[in-house]
Every structure is written in C-alpha cells, then in structure tokens.
C-alpha cells in the first residue's frame, strides 16, 4: 500500500537522521552529498514481507528515492514500486519547502500512477499535497517530543492521509537499537469507499446496480529496519 510505504519512509528517515523530512524537522543542515540504502522486515497478522529502499540527496537540495515493497514468497503478491525525484528549499532553520515528482506502479501491471507534489515543513510538522491526473491527496506528519520518550530512547510519529475516497490515520512508536537498526510498532485506522457499477440485460431491459466495495477498520504492524548511510 502506497500509504504505508510513504509513512514508513518518512518515519524511518526521521529517526535515522538521513531523510529530507528529518533535515527540516530536526533543523539539521547536511552540507555534503549523501547516499542511503536499507530495508524493512514487516510482521502483519502472522505474515511477513520485505521492503527495500534507496535514497540520495546532494548539497544543493535535490534528492531521489526508490522504494520496493510487498516482497514475499506468495506467488499472488504483486510487488509495488515507488520512485520519486524532488527538491528541498531551506528558507531558514525552521521552515523549508519541497517540490517533486512521484511514480507508483505494480510489477505485473502496465498502468502507473504519476503525481507531482509540494510540501511545507515547519519544525516538527509537515503538510504535503500530491496532485494526480484526476485526483488530489493530502498528507501530514507530526513528530512531537516528550521527555519520558526521549529518556527511554523512543520516538513517536503521527501521520494522516486524506483523499476523495477516504482517510488513513496512524501512529508510529519506534526505538533506535543502534545507529543503523530501528524497531517499531505502527497502529492506525483507515476508512475508504469505492463505488462500483455493473449492469446486465434481462427481458430486453438493462439493469444497473451500484455498490460500495470499500473497507474500514483498525490495522497494526511490527517492523524491523536497517539503514546504512554513505557520505
């Protein structure tokens, strides 16, 4: 799911000090080029899958990301790919802007979803908008700081996703086990509608029916992440 990909992407990089979002939210300012590579092992309802990521950013603010998810041993699973190119413009130590292009596609399908995005990041909160050919979606991340979490080497990140079909709200709690290893738990609620229409002909009369095949409910996920950064 693209939402989970984006959510884990930002939460992991926020905590590992290698992401564009982390640069803005934690007031960092990397002066040199940087390349990062890593992955996730996800546990969800007794099953597991892998995700692979690669991220590069240069000193001028340009960056690129590749994320491959839903890698497992189930022949019916369709591996999902996420690719983006962007530019981060730092206004001051608290404020920055992002602009770029995103493409999301499945290995066994020809159609790809292309979007352009724009984001604003202020201290520990970010608001981003993604514009596709016929739709727009909004996302937000918020990383508060609490003393009792900081004292126990824990981080918390809140995430929201909204579009015409519904919304997704999540919370991520994680712990940095080492400079390159992170362990976390994600918990959230999603509610989406999907109207479908079918018709058939009976006694020379066409019957048309519309039904909602959407879904809603709580979800949870355990994950173990590994990331290496190269300057």
C-beta of residue 107 within 8 angstroms of C-beta of residue 130: no
CA-wise closest residue to 40 among 224, 229, 227:
224
How many Cα atoms occupy the beta-carbon half-sphere of 57 within 13 Å?
Answer: 23
pLDDT for residue 159: 93
Domain tally, the chain: 1
C-beta of residue 96 within 8 angstroms of C-beta of residue 70: no
pLDDT for residue 225: 85
Residues sharing a CB contact under 8 Å with residue 14, sequence separation 6 or more, in sequence order: 21, 22, 25, 26, 141, 143, 155, 157
DSSP 154-185: EEEEEEEEEETTEEEEEEEEEEESSSSEEEEE
pLDDT for residue 147: 81
Per-residue pLDDT of the chain (231 residues; tens, 9 = 90+): 444 444 444 444 444 433 333 333 332 333 345 777 888 787 776 677 778 888 888 888 999 988 887 665 555 566 778 889 999 999 998 999 999 999 887 766 667 788 999 999 999 899 999 998 878 899 999 988 788 877 778 888 999 999 888 999 999 988 888 878 888 998 999 998 877 776 777 677 777 777 677 788 998 888 888 877 665
pLDDT for residue 189: 94
C-beta of residue 194 within 8 angstroms of C-beta of residue 188: no
Give the containing element (helix H, strand E) for 96.
strand 95-106
C-beta of residue 77 within 8 angstroms of C-beta of residue 70: yes
Expressed in percent and rounded to 5, the helix, strand and coil fractions of the chain are 10, 65, 25
C-beta of residue 98 within 8 angstroms of C-beta of residue 20: yes
Tokens of 41: 């092992």
pLDDT for residue 15: 40
CA-wise closest residue to 212 among 197, 191, 190:
197
What are phi and psi for residue 225, nearest 5 degrees?
-115, 150
- How far is residue 228's CA from residue 146's CA, in Å, rounded to a whole number? 27
Q: Could you tell me the residue range of the domain that residue 122 belongs to?
A: 2-230
pLDDT for residue 40: 78
Which domain CATH number covers 15? 2.40.160.40
């Amino acid at each position: 799911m693209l939402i989970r990909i984006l959510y884990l992407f930002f939460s992991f990089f926020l905590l590992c000090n290698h992401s564009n979002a982390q640069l803005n939210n934690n007031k960092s300012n990397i002066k040199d080029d940087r390349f990062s590579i890593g992955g996730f092992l996800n546990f969800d309802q007794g099953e597991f899958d892998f995700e692979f990521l690669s991220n590069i950013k240069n000193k001028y603010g340009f960056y690129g990301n590749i994320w491959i998810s839903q890698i497992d041993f189930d022949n019916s699973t369709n591996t999902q790919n996420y690719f983006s190119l962007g530019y981060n413009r730092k206004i001051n130590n608290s404020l920055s802007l992002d602009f770029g292009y995103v493409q999301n596609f499945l290995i066994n399908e020809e159609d790809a979803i292309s979007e352009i995005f724009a984001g604003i990041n202020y201290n520990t909160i970010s608001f981003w908008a993604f514009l596709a050919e016929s739709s727009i979606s909004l996302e937000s991340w918020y990383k508060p700081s609490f003393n009792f979490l900081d004292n126990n080497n824990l981080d918390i990140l809140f995430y929201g996703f909204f579009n015409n079909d519904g919304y997704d709200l999540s919370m991520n709690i994680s712990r940095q086990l080492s400079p390159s290893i992170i362990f976390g738990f994600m918990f959230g609620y999603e509610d989406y509608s999907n109207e479908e229409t079918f018709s058939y002909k009976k006694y020379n009369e066409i019957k048309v029916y519309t039904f909602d095949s959407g879904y809603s409910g709580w979800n949870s996920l355990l994950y173990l992440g590994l990331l290496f950064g190269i300057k």
